[in-house]
Amino acid sequence: MAEAPTPLVDYHCHLDLYPDYRRVFRECAQENIQTLAMTTTPRAWPHNRELAGDCPALRVALGLHPQLVAERGVEMALFERYLPETRFVGEVGLDASPRFYGSFEEQVQVFSRVLRLCQEAGGRVISVHSVRAAARVLRMAGEHLDPRRSTIVLHWFTGKLSEAERALELGCYFSVNPRMLSTKPGRELVVRLPLGSMLTETDGPFVEVAGRPAHPRDVAGTLQAIAALRGVNGAEVRAAMLNNMLSLEARHHFGP
């Protein structure tokens, strides 16, 4: 009998935002795609938890997206209530792009509370958005989070290489999606980062592949592209992504 292929890893996607989300949850479970499903508001947590069931391939993160902080900041009380139920947090972070800059100070308040709660709880894996705010995100991480207690995964990182160096010192991982590979700085980052600090993601359904929303299985193309950029073979990168995820998740003790 043929050996099962190394499972794919999509460490940042929004399974609940696909029009046919029940099917996408089911396909990830059936295809054993190791998925970290974001939520964008704490209110979405219970339903996502239920959709994931007890399938070991499906992880659900508790989040409050920085682009929604203006309307949903009040849900921080719910975030705090649900945090003991999960070791995965996301999507959280900061977005200083013009459209969301109006809520930036409130985003900082929310994100610092998220970091402090994760520090207190320990054992959390945190998927972080840092659009035009990499330096601030890293400064806050350095202030509030002991990397021996919880780990940040920088999703779709677009900061400078010097900021990426700082992130590595803080023990961060980087999740890479196809859109990053379509930009020169994104490709440069993917070549410069240690392979051991990288994970694959789709950020589906927001990111498109071939003119349709990316499906978690599309990370197969991303890891081939990473392999080509780094001059190694796809199987090596595929195995590395799974190993990176497993060692990240084994880093911290979670639970009482």
Query: Which stretches of the chain bind Mn ion, using CB under 5 A?
Result: 91, 203
In DSSP terms, 212 is beta-bridged to 209
Nearer to Mn ion, 75 or 91 (CB): 91
Nearer to Mn ion, 91 or 218 (CB): 91
**Angle at CA of residue 228, ends 157 and 8, nearest 5°:** 65
Nearer to Mn ion, 95 or 203 (CB): 203
Shortest distance, CB of residue 156 to Mn ion, whole angstroms? 7
Shortest distance, CB of residue 177 to Mn ion, whole angstroms? 9
Nearer to Mn ion, 91 or 95 (CB): 91
Shortest distance, CB of residue 1 to Mn ion, whole angstroms? 38
HEC string for the chain:
CCCCCCCCEEEEECHHHCCCHHHHHHHHHHCCCEEEECCCCHHHHHHHHHHHCCCCCEEECECCCHHHHHHHHHHHHHHHHHHHHCCEEEEEEEECCHHHHHHHHHHHHHHHHHHHHHHHHCCCEEEEEEECCHHHHHHHHHHHCCCCCCEEEEECCCCCHHHHHHHHHCCCEEEECCCHHHCHHHHHHHHHCCHHHEEECCCCCCCEECCEECCHHHHHHHHHHHHHHHCCCHHHHHHHHHHHHHHHHHHCCCCC
Shortest distance, CB of residue 255 to Mn ion, whole angstroms? 27
Shortest distance, CB of residue 71 to Mn ion, whole angstroms? 17
Shortest distance, CB of residue 129 to Mn ion, whole angstroms? 6
Nearer to Mn ion, 92 or 227 (CB): 92
Nearer to Mn ion, 14 or 87 (CB): 14
